Chain A
């Protein structure tokens, strides 16, 4: 009776899907369904269409994913996972930041931050540098005098007219007067290094 009923009605779509899933999982089909599929050509065609559609969707998805996740990529992924789980289960390290600086800061009040000889060496270096600089400055002043001599001579002899030479002399004298006693303290050092016209004149 039941067998006759199963033959007289076509299988519903739900039953076809269940049959497909069972077949895919390697399970046994429901006997009445299996029997019906064996006897009913229309349902068999519907089942095959469903299976074909499902297989196509599945195959496309898997192929697409497998093309992207190549064996090489999967190997890299596995290495990444291995690297990430390497520290799981190990006690966390506490890293003081910045470690050495913090220690030094904490002990700065107890001991000097730098040895004394460093300060002494710096002072000595400064002194020697200043002395050398001063002696070089004097040497340069002499050189300037000579060079200035060479340079100034053409100016003095270059004048085309006596009036122009007198005007230059007057201008230089004014500068001389203005710079003889500079009021700005910062300029005194430069003043000391600058050759004066009167010095050139006196040497002549």
Chain B
């Protein structure tokens, strides 16, 4: 699949599919953020066998990253159920492999990389499934949820918003795989080109090129002025 952005040369994955830090990743170490410190503390608790305490503190980590993770996963998969499961899987994988986490990477980068890998796997499965079954871009259940979340909006407004979102989603879907991943990480994951470089194993200059091409293509597809 062209959408697969498994970093090419310098990306290493352990047996469980959890990425290990690369040399480039270690080079780009920002000061420890709050979530990174929390992840390090949880790792210590797990190593000492204090699992209950570790689980309790892990809930804080989940709370911090849950919304952002759900946004990214949903934009990738365009299916609420799949996105929900992808987020859950990513957190469970993080907890299961927390002892392999090294603070050389900000926790956000490590976690996002695990999430993206899971989303890519699910996207592949989706594409395989869609070859055999006619799928909708947004399921009716999701649509109902969106309508229920905006009871004040009039139907016309909802219809226009839905159409606009559908056009944006379809335009993003038409991006080349790497462009799409870079764009999503930058745009919905709030990641800087440097962080995306660490996550994907691409050079920062390459990330910028992909991002620029993605934006140019999107503006062309969505009819914005270039």
Measured CA separation A89–B74 after assembly (Å) = 30
User: Contacts A77-B66, A88-B92; is A61 near B188 (CB within 8 Å)?
Assistant: yes
Q: Which one of B14-22, B104-112, B122-130, B215-223 contacts A?
A: B215-223
A84, B95: Cα distance in complex, Å: 10
A58 to B222, alpha carbons, bound, how many Å? 14
Q: Which residues of A contact B75 (CB under 8 A)?
A: 61, 65
Report whether over half of chain A's contact residues are helix, strand or loop; otherwise say mixed.
helix
User: Is B203 close to A, CB under 8 A?
Assistant: no
Chain A residues with CB under 8 Å of B216's CB are 13
Report the stretch among B3-11, B31-39, B54-62 that lies at the interface: B54-62
Known: A67-B145, A82-B55, A85-B55. A25 touches B62 (CB 8 A): no
Closest to A74 in B: B66
B211 at the interface (CB under 8 A from A): yes
A84-B88 in contact (CB<8A):
yes
- A70 cross-chain contacts in B, Cβ below 8 A: 145, 149
Chain A interface size range: 35 or more
Contact with A along B64-95 (1 / 0, CB 8 A): 00110011001100001001100110011001
- Segment with Cβ contacts to B, from A49-57, A96-104, A111-119, A195-203: A49-57
A69–B188 CA distance with the chains assembled, in angstroms: 14
- The A-contacting residues of B in range 158-213, CB under 8 angstroms, are 161, 164-165, 168, 186-188, 192-193, 208, 211-212
Cross-chain contact B146 with A68 (CB below 8 angstroms): yes
Chain B facing A: main interface SS: helix
Residue count of chain B within 8 Å CB distance of chain A: 49
**Once bound together, how far apart are the Cα atoms of A90 and B226, in whole Å?**
57
Kindly list chain A residues whose C-beta atoms are within 8 Å of the C-beta of B186.
21
Question: Inside 8 A of B66's CB, which chain A residues have their CB?
Answer: 74, 77-78
* Cross-chain contact B192 with A21 (CB below 8 angstroms): yes
The complex places the Cα of A14 from the Cα of B212 at a distance, in Å, of 6
Chain A residues with CB below 8 A from B136, complex form = none
Q: How far is the CA of A80 from the CA of B226 in the complex (A)?
A: 45
Partner of A49, one of B67, B165, B224: B224
Known: A66-B67, A85-B55. A17 touches B187 (CB 8 A): no
Q: Which residues of B contact A5 (CB under 8 A)?
A: none
Given contacts A17-B215, A53-B219, A54-B187, is CB(A60)–CB(B71) below 8 Å? no
Q: Is B2 an interface residue (CB 8 A)?
A: no
Q: How many angstroms from the CA of A96 to the CA of B130 in the assembled complex?
A: 40
A155, B123: Cα distance in complex, Å:
87
| Beta-carbon contact of A60 and B165 below 8 Å | yes
Residues of A contacting B120 in the complex (Cβ-Cβ under 8 angstroms)? none
Report yes or no: A61 in contact with B92, Cβ–Cβ below 8 A.
Answer: no
**Residues of A with Cβ closer than 8 Å to B?**
13-14, 17-18, 21, 25, 49-50, 53-54, 57-58, 60-62, 64-70, 73-74, 77-78, 80-82, 84-86, 88-90
26 contacts between A and B (CB under 8 A): A13-B216, A21-B192, A21-B193, A21-B211, A50-B215, A53-B224, A54-B187, A58-B188, A61-B188, A62-B188, A64-B74, A65-B75, A68-B142, A69-B70, A69-B71, A69-B83, A73-B84, A77-B66, A77-B70, A78-B62, A84-B92, A85-B58, A85-B95, A88-B95, A89-B49, A89-B54
Closest 3 CB pairs of A and B: A67-B149, A65-B71, A69-B70
